Amino acid sequence: MSEPASQLLDIQRRMAAAVMHPLTRGETMPRRRRDGASNLREADAIIRPNDRLTSFERLEIYNRQYWYRLYTCFEEDFPGLQAILGRAKFDALMRAYLTDCPSESFSLRNLGSRLEAWLDRHPEHLGPKPILASDMVRLEWAHIEAFDSEERPRLSAEALAAVDENSSLRLQPYLRVLALSYPVDDLLLQVRTENGSSASSTNNASTSRKRRHVRHVAALAPRPIHLAVHRHENSVWYKPLSPEEFGLLSALLAGKPLGDAIDLALANSPLPEDQRPAFLQEVFATWAMLGWFTT
């Protein structure tokens, strides 16, 4: 690499390190980084001051804007979690998570990809209703995945001719199935509706209504709920599933052959044997019509 290009690369890396370094609690750029390096000296080395701002102040603008952008994206992606935890706890979680798991992707779409795993290691951030909060995180991430994951060509009638019990049916990459303990799908829809209508009502009233929705769901006794999160005509949908449907889809998603998937899904089902063929015919017809099977 030539010398000017090498210098530019060095400056770019130093700039990125400064901009992506976490802010202080007061949301300012720290004077000293976590490794002890001085941001004051670093700013002087790579940024020119002008007649209004020092080098440090100019660099701080980028540092703050970078983090504000991450915060905004994270809040947009997890409004349900914010409604459950409340503003203060959500902020603490967001800052701790983004500090531990900084953005590493070209797209901020992936910002929350490690949240569920991170929360497994940091359950203290899940608040007084950890299962409810955890359910919501899983649903909100599934929503993001369903929104923009690939859609493959749908299964053709010709391809079906070769399907037998040993066939592995492939499902669309945007399809996610979830086993949950609370009806967080209803709650998330209410929260999103509130957020969407907040322009026409006061923030306080909207927040109060969201709290009421959360309290209502949090008061419910946990019970198994199964859900498919999928995309249809560029909208994300939540489709309730029976335990048998969930078992079938989970087995197919895991790559089990059709015959084995049916065995697994119906092994402990209370569904009478004489009703099982009709059940299978119906659910496979519905899923095929939704375009869930792919080549």
291 binding another protein? (CB under 8 A): yes
- Residue-wise burial string across 56-95, b where 16 or more C-beta atoms lie within 10 A, e elsewhere: bebbbebbeebbeebbebbbebbbbbbbbbeeebbeebbb
277: which 2 tokens? Answer: 């063929």
Cα separation, 57 vs 63, in Å, equals: 10
Q: Are 142 and 229 in contact (CB under 8 A)?
A: yes
165: which 2 tokens? Answer: 């019990």
| Shortest separation between residue 59's beta carbon and another protein, angstroms | 8
Q: How many CB atoms lie within 10 A of CB 234?
A: 8
Q: Closer CB to another protein, residue 84 or residue 144? A: 144
CB-based contacts of 210, cutoff 8 Å, min separation 6: 83, 190, 191, 194
Instruction: Mark the segment that binds another protein (CB under 8 A) among 36-44, 84-92, 124-132, 225-233.
Output: 225-233
61 binding another protein? (CB under 8 A): yes
10, 240, 254, 255: residue in contact with another protein (rule CB under 8 A): 240
16 binding another protein? (CB under 8 A): no
236, 243, 253, 294: residue in contact with another protein (rule CB under 8 A): 236
1: which 2 tokens? Answer: 């690499």
35, 164, 219, 268: residue in contact with another protein (rule CB under 8 A): 164
6, 50, 168, 208: residue in contact with another protein (rule CB under 8 A): 50
Q: Which region, left, alpha or beta, applies to residue 291 given φ > 0 means left and ψ of -120 to 50 means alpha?
A: left
29, 85, 93, 155: residue in contact with another protein (rule CB under 8 A): 155
71 binding another protein? (CB under 8 A): no
- Residues in contact with another protein by CB under 8 A are 50, 52-53, 58, 61-62, 65, 73, 76, 106-109, 143-144, 147-148, 154-157, 160, 163-165, 169, 185-186, 188-189, 192, 195-196, 230, 232-240, 258-259, 262-263, 266, 273, 276-278, 280-291, 293
